Amino acid sequence: MKEATMKAISFAPAEVFEPTPVHLDILKTVGDMKSCHISQVVSALQSLHSESRVRSDIRDLLSKRYLDGGKASSEIILRLTSRGRLLILPPQTS
């Protein structure tokens, strides 16, 4: 019979994600295009940021679940998640 091992509990505070201007540009571009390919986002932001930076930050946003990547026939299709939408909402004034 296999014994269950217990993991140590971590009491460290959760890391807060601070989006960079590149992250925000990517999220806004994907939001404007609705469903788009990675290459379309890279092309749209090529005048502002390097291709490698955009691709790297897209991977970062996918891993943190701010973007969702659905598989198409040839390339991943990017969509905003609800977490991604929250990052690009205008600040609320009270």
What pLDDT shows up at residue 27? Answer: 94
Question: 39 in a domain, yes or no?
Answer: yes
pTM of the model: 0.77
Domain total of the chain: 1
Q: What is the largest CA-CA distance in the chain?
A: 60
pLDDT tens digits along 13-33 = 777 788 899 999 999 999 999
One-letter identity of residue 5: T
Q: How far apart, in whole angstroms, are the C-alpha atoms of residue 24 and residue 47?
A: 15
Residue at 61 is within a domain? yes
Structural domain span for residue 83? 21-87
* Burial class of residue 55 in the structure, from the number of CB atoms within 10 Å of its CB (0-12 exposed, 13-18 middle, 19+ buried): middle
Is the residue at 13 inside a domain?
A: no
Residue 88 has pLDDT above 80, yes or no: yes
The DSSP annotation for 5-54 comes to: -PPPPP-SPPPPP---HHHHHHHHHHHHHSSEEHHHHHHHHTTTS-HHHH
